[in-house]
């Protein structure tokens, strides 16, 4: 099936004023190269206004952020973690978290789409063959994108995965090393991807990641994500019907957890960055609305809502929360970077996981609280549907459902009180 034939049902209409995705466009190999962490941050700052400009309309119309994602590709921002020896910046976790947080402050959908792209580039770095590294790092440098096909309806853990990766039998095609069968949902970024990373089980019940093209015969993507928030993350259902996979396009995912690792902490750090960005964007829009549109409460005795001392105090409280969340995010990123420089052992793995869990637990609360307090600050007029300010709360409430904070608090408490290391399952 051609990527131009991707199904679009249930989640959106045809009203898309941006360039419509042709599956995923073929980015010209002239994508910009970024050479350092500092340059990555500068480039990110430079695109924020363009990404934020259409965020509300895209959310209201459930319109995929095609132009925004193409902009990230063209600017080289989706290749910042490619190792220097392969031509990338080799950006650290702290920088990656800051980049995603900035993007999320402009549009958290745009920030979430490449989250799994960066997760699987790290898998390639750690476990990929030379062939896979040359291919996929080269693709990232050219602006091409990976997306996940990981979650399954009804599954609770990786052990429940039903998608199979079996050896190709006669009749499956001589060029195929393996065949994929199964169905995935919440496949973030899949509708805009050049490669899909499919988590499956082999005949020995080990997890493998098969890297396949959306054009592969037997693969279809359905645009059926209808969540109340994060509406435009291109999170389709991926259906796999006897999809052939060459042996050289399979990565032994199960090996990542056979040793101390920060792979899971890096993935959680990126989710944390999105929560922090949502809070930052909500506070920014709340402040702007108060300055420009809110009416002062008569008991305050002031001419402008922005001069109300009680409102000023509440803004101060929220600003402290956002700043604290940003600081915890940066510290978690620095911890991951330090552990990786020193060599990941059990102690370092635990330290990184707890640092990220603390940042995530705090950002979860700050994101939802700030997005809700927007209306408290801005007043009745801010609830008008045409303003669509409720998207901040919808995005915060939807995205913070990733990985329950109550369990992160348990692991933080056990580690702090009894020195019990957190589990090595990739969700902390």
pLDDT value of residue 22: 38
pLDDT value of residue 21: 40
| CA-based torsion, 150, 189, 220, 8: positive or negative | positive
* Spans of the chain, pLDDT less than 50: 1-23, 26-28, 174
pLDDT value of residue 24: 54
State the Cα–Cα distance between residues 336 and 261, nearest whole angstrom: 10
State the Cα–Cα distance between residues 85 and 211, nearest whole angstrom: 22
| Full-model pTM | 0.92
Q: What tokens appear for 244 in the block?
A: 């052939």
pLDDT value of residue 2: 34
What are 250's strand-pairing partners? 210
pLDDT value of residue 172: 59
Q: Could you give all domains of the chain from N- to C-terminal order, each with its CATH number? A: 3-145 (1.10.540.10), 158-254 (2.40.110.10), 259-418 (1.20.140.10)
What are 240's strand-pairing partners? 182, 219
Backbone angles phi, psi at 208, to 5 degrees: -130, 155
pLDDT value of residue 111: 98
CA angle 245, 208, 158 (to 5 degrees): 135
Contact 94/38 with Cβ under 8 angstroms?
A: no
pLDDT value of residue 44: 98
State the Cα–Cα distance between residues 25 and 20, nearest whole angstrom: 9
Element (H, E) at 49: helix 37-53
pLDDT value of residue 171: 58
State the Cα–Cα distance between residues 318 and 410, nearest whole angstrom: 26
Contact 273/360 with Cβ under 8 angstroms?
A: no
pLDDT value of residue 13: 35
């Amino acid at each position: 099936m051609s990527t131009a034939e991707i199904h679009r049902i249930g989640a959106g209409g045809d009203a898309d004023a941006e360039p419509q995705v042709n599956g995923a466009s073929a980015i010209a190999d002239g994508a910009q190269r970024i050479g350092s962490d500092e340059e990555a941050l500068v480039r990110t700052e430079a695109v924020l206004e363009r990404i934020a400009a259409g965020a509300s309309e895209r959310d209201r119309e459930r319109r995929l952020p095609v132009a925004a994602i193409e902009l990230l590709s063209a600017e080289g921002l989706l290749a910042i973690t490619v190792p220097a020896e392969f031509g990338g910046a080799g950006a650290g976790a702290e920088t990656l978290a800051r980049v995603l947080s900035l993007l999320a402050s402009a549009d958290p959908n745009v920030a979430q789409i490449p989250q799994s792209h960066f997760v699987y580039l790290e898998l390639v770095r750690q476990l990929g063959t030379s062939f896979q590294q040359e291919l996929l790092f080269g693709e990232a440098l050219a602006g091409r994108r990976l997306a996940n096909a990981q979650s399954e309806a009804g599954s609770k853990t990786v052990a429940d995965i039903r998608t199979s990766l079996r050896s190709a039998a006669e009749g499956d095609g001589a060029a195929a090393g393996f065949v994929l069968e199964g169905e995935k949902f919440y496949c973030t970024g899949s509708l805009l991807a050049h490669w899909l990373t499919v988590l499956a089980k082999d005949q020995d019940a080990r997890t493998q990641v098969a890297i396949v093209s959306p054009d592969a015969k037997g693969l279809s993507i359905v645009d059926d994500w209808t969540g109340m928030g994060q509406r435009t993350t291109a999170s389709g259902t991926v259906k796999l019907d006897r999809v052939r996979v060459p042996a050289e396009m399979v990565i032994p995912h199960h090996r990542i957890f056979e040793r101390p690792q920060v792979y899971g902490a890096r993935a959680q750090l990126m989710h944390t960055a999105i929560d922090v960005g949502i809070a930052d964007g909500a506070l920014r829009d709340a402040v702007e609305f108060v300055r420009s549109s809110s009416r002062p409460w008569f008991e305050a005795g002031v001419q402008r809502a922005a001069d109300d001392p009680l409102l000023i105090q509440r803004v101060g409280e929220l600003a402290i929360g956002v700043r604290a969340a940003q600081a915890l995010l940066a510290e978690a990123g620095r911890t991951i970077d330090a552990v990786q420089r020193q060599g990941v052992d059990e102690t370092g793995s635990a330290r990184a996981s707890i640092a990220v869990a603390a940042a995530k637990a705090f950002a979860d609360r700050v994101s939802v609280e700030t997005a809700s307090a927007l209306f408290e600050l801005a007043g009745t007029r801010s609830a008008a549907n045409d303003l669509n300010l409720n998207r901040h709360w919808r995005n915060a409430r939807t995205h913070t459902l990733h990985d329950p904070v109550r369990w992160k608090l348990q692991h933080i408490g056990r580690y702090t009180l009894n020195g019990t290391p957190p589990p090595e399952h990739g969700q902390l």
